[in-house]
Amino acid sequence: MAKQEQVEVKPKRQNMKQLLDSVKKEMVELTSLPFNTIAGVALDEETHEPTVVTIELVERKAIPDSMDLLGIYEVITDADGGVVTFKRVSMRKRGDVVSATEY
């Protein structure tokens, strides 16, 4: 009998769209807040894998929409794109102009 080699099958890595879709879905489920937008993605310097995703969630709806309160969240992801930790780092009104350095 010939010995069978065991080949380790690595799971297919998520592409950026899959990762962002996964983060959006999981954050909406965890917080019960409506999703607004992806504000940024930071890559690990060594692996070039996404590690921090900055998103905006609607904290409070208002009329007019420009007065909605948006929570800005930093989401730390694992190698599979799952949410490991998250924290709200800021809030803003939808109508406020925010520079990239404020994220």
Q: Considering the entire predicted model, what is its pTM?
A: 0.77
pLDDT at position 44: 78
Residue 58 contacts residue 68 (beta carbons within 8 Å): yes
* Cβ neighbour number for residue 77 with a 10 Å cutoff: 23
Question: How do residues 40-86 score in pLDDT, each as one tens digit?
Answer: 998 877 877 778 999 999 999 999 988 999 999 999 998 777 899 99
Report all structural domains of the chain as residue ranges with CATH numbers, in order of start. 16-95 (3.10.450)
Q: Which position has the token pair 């990762």?
A: 19
